[in-house]
Amino acid sequence: MTRRDIPVLDLGPYRTGTPGALDALAAELRHAQENVGFFVVVNHGVPQARIDAAFESARRFHALPLEAKLALKANEHNIGYLPFKGSTTRSSRVNVNTKPNLNEALFVKRDLAPDHPDVLAGKRYKAPNQWPGETALPGFRADVVAYCDAMEALAKSLLPLYARALDLPADWFDKAFELPMYTLRMTHYPPVPEAEIEDNQFAIAPHTDSGFLTLLAQSDIPGLAIRLPDGTWIEPPMIPGSFVVNTGDLAHRWTNERFLSTPHRVVHRTPRDRYAIPFFFDCSYDHVMECIPTCTGPGNPPKYPPTTYPEYQLWFGSRNYAHIAPKAGEKMAAG
């Protein structure tokens, strides 16, 4: 596989306020999102110690006894533990996935208290996280929350680039992301003997992400592959300390398909345990995403109706996870 087609964006000059850096970097992002759907960022400002602590947190959690993890089994808010082979990716546009994914994961969202108004109101995807006890994993919660805070800050720092890439004022997304929704997926890919892997079965099957953007800290074990628009599968460049960034389906819809939501997969064929900590970043809960004005015009009408985060995530989640199903009266987006 060649790695030449995944752009690498240096955030350094932009972060230090170098004149012209915002628009220059936005042009690079525009090219990446309109032609590949993925890019890699370096000089992003997240301390390596924070990234390392998050990977170590994933290792520590998945080393717990299965009984302890199952006590935190994922709920209707998609918060908690997803067992090995616990999901089948049925929303793929590029592959008919019928086999369960060869991974286990812990899902974490913004850390809300039990008496938070949205928790008390029973809003979907607004619920307390399910944490292992401090005795079992000392410092785990603090390290994970600190990583989520760092990822939220990094994702927010990219929003002016996305706005300028779409020919909008740099602050155009500010209102939409006043209190972003997000999910951290702490994934473990255990080694699986080749003889036990069925045809058309993957560590994670070919899919597109559901949200606005994803930040993926680079693993020290390869496995991620990206499907370019011409059907070629390639790997991103493995740059230590960098993040792989991609557009999800909501950004694809919001931009009227101007920005690509590119399929990707994970194939794990090494004898080592592999861990991944993708951070999925979305707009505020009630913000209505309707076609961005610079992405429509004469001869290019909006392709999708307006939607919100909970409406789309409920549609997406109910197709891919058995523990998510709509309740009476809950509105789902059209796929």
CB 280 within 8 A of CB 217: no
Residue with tokens 């199952």: 70
Residue 193 neighbours by CB under 8 Å, 6+ apart:
none
The maximal CA–CA distance of the chain, rounded, in angstroms, is 61
Spell out the domains of the chain, with CATH numbers in brackets: 8-320 (2.60.120.330)
pLDDT of 4 strictly over 60? no
Alpha-carbon distance of 305 to 44, in angstroms, equals 34
The Cα–Cα gap between 77 and 108 comes to 10
What pLDDT is stored for residue 2 in this prediction? 41
Could you read off the pLDDT of 221-257 as tens digits, one per residue? 999 999 998 899 999 999 999 999 999 999 999 999 9
The pTM score is 0.94
- Would you state the pLDDT for residue 1? 36
Average model confidence (pLDDT) across the chain: 93
pLDDT at 91 over 80: no
Residue 320 confidence class, pLDDT cut points 50, 70, 90: low
